[in-house]
Structure 1
Amino acid sequence: MGIIILLIITGILLLILEFFVVPGITIAGIGGFGMIIYGIIMAYGMGSSTGHITLAATLLATIIILYYFLRTKTWNKLMLQSTIKSQVDTVEEETIKPGDQGITITRLNPMGKARINNQEVEAHCPGQFVDPKTNVEVIEVHQTYIIVKPVK
């Protein structure tokens, strides 16, 4: 009976770890769920009434523990709470038009940075590499990048 209790408690702890510390479907969640199921199956092997009591106790304990951990702020220190604050630079179509000229800041391999009309944008040069500080001409303007060709 001790092994059944140990399996179920370990499974519940692994599920809590899965929910609050390691989000997603990982070995901790799968292992915890498997341990709980195996512990309940072992309890049913000892008799149906023992299995029913173990199943009910496991469900009740899981609900109480999850309720307790959701109410306390202890797990907030361990939980992943980072937010993404970056954004995609967009090309202002009013300031950059096809035919405008500028200079590359980095190597276009086939993409990099270029300065067009005093605005630093991501530039693509399909089919070829362009060295830094090369004069380029805008061919197309897209929302997040421009397509350029070297000026000869």
Structure 2
Amino acid sequence: MTIIIILALLALCLGVVEIFIIPGFGVSGIAAILCALADVVLIYQFYGFLPAVLSVAAALVLLGLMLWWVSRSRMLDRMALHSTISSSSASSDQLSVQVGDRGVALTRLALIGNARINGKQVEVKSSGAFINPGTPLVVVAVNEANVTVEACPQT
């Protein structure tokens, strides 16, 4: 009987550690699941099928009640990030590029690479084809931080 209580408390403690201290599905989460399973197996061996099923049902009901309580409480609000990010990942060089600007590929554009456009080094995205370094480019689209280019014949 004592080992059953110890395993249940250990599973509970490891579950709390997994949720609040070490987030992710790691060693403590797996250990909590194994302790809970061992607990159910011991209940089945010592007391039979019905008490084992009742203990699993009670654990599921308690888990549901805890999830309901946590979702209604302010606990999640304290754990959540509420700040807003007002900056952009685009550099000032990328923001100065316009559709129709011409440049040259500095690196191989295996869909994404660097190009020199208007004398500035800019991260660009190819419109689909691989483009080798030194290939002349034309800007076909600018969406926020994404500059899309295509290879163009030299003029």
Alignment CA distance shift 1:36-1:81 (3 Å)? farther
Q: Which runs of 5+ in 1 are unaligned?
A: 131-135
Q: Secondary structure in 1 aligned to 2:107? A: coil
- Residue 114 (structure 1) aligns with: 116
Please tell me the root mean square deviation across aligned C-alpha atoms, in Å.
4.4
Following superposition, the deviation at residue 43 of structure 1 comes to 0.9
Q: Secondary structure in 1 aligned to 2:56? A: helix
TM-score, L = length of structure 2: 0.54
Confirm or deny that 1:141 pairs with 2:144.
no
TM-score, L = length of structure 1: 0.55
- Paired residues, what number? 135
Residues 56-75 of structure 1 mapped to structure 2, 5 A cutoff:
56-75=57-76
Which residue identity does 1:5 align to in structure 2?
A: I
- Residue 133 (structure 1) aligns with: none
Query: Which structure dedicates a bigger proportion of its chain to helix?
Result: 2
- Residue 99 (structure 2) aligns with: 96
Q: Which runs of 5+ in 2 are unaligned?
A: none
Aligned partners of 2:107 and 2:69: how far apart in 1?
54
Confirm or deny that 1:39 pairs with 2:39.
yes
Aligned partners of 1:38 and 1:84: how far apart in 2?
45
Aligned partners of 1:137 and 1:18: how far apart in 2?
54
Confirm or deny that 1:8 pairs with 2:8.
yes
Percent of pairs with identical residues: 19
Aligned partners of 1:83 and 1:30: how far apart in 2?
33
Aligned partners of 2:82 and 2:106: how far apart in 1?
33
Following superposition, the deviation at residue 44 of structure 1 comes to 0.9
Aligned partners of 1:44 and 1:73: how far apart in 2?
38
Alignment CA distance shift 1:70-1:8 (3 Å)? farther
8 Å CA contact 1:14, 1:28 repeated in 2: yes
Aligned partners of 1:120 and 1:73: how far apart in 2?
47
Aligned partners of 1:101 and 1:35: how far apart in 2?
64
